Amino acid sequence: FDITGKVAIITGGNGGLGLGMAEGLAQAGAKVAVCGRNQEKIDRAVKQLEDQGAEAIGISCDVGSEEQVNAMVAQTAEHFGRIDILVNNAAISWGIPTETMTLDEWNNFITNNLTSMFLTCRACFPHMVEAGGGKIIN
Q: What are phi and psi of 56, to 5 degrees?
A: -140, 150
Q: What is the pLDDT of residues 80-97, one digit of tens each?
A: 999 999 999 999 988 889
Instruction: Specify the pLDDT at position 1.
Output: 82
Q: What is the pLDDT of residues 42-69, one digit of tens each?
A: 999 999 999 999 999 999 999 999 999 9
Give CATH superfamily name and number for 7-137: NAD(P)-binding Rossmann-like Domain (3.40.50.720)
Instruction: Specify the pLDDT at position 95.
Output: 84
- The Cα 78–Cα 15 span in angstroms is 24
| Three-state secondary structure readout of the chain | CCCCCCEEEEECCCCHHHHHHHHHHHHCCCEEEEEECCHHHHHHHHHHHHHCCCCEEEEECCCCCHHHHHHHHHHHHHHHCCCCEEECCCCCCCCCCHHHCCHHHHHHHHHHHHHHHHHHHHHHHHHHHHCCCCEEEC
pTM of the model: 0.95
Residue 109 per-residue DSSP state = H
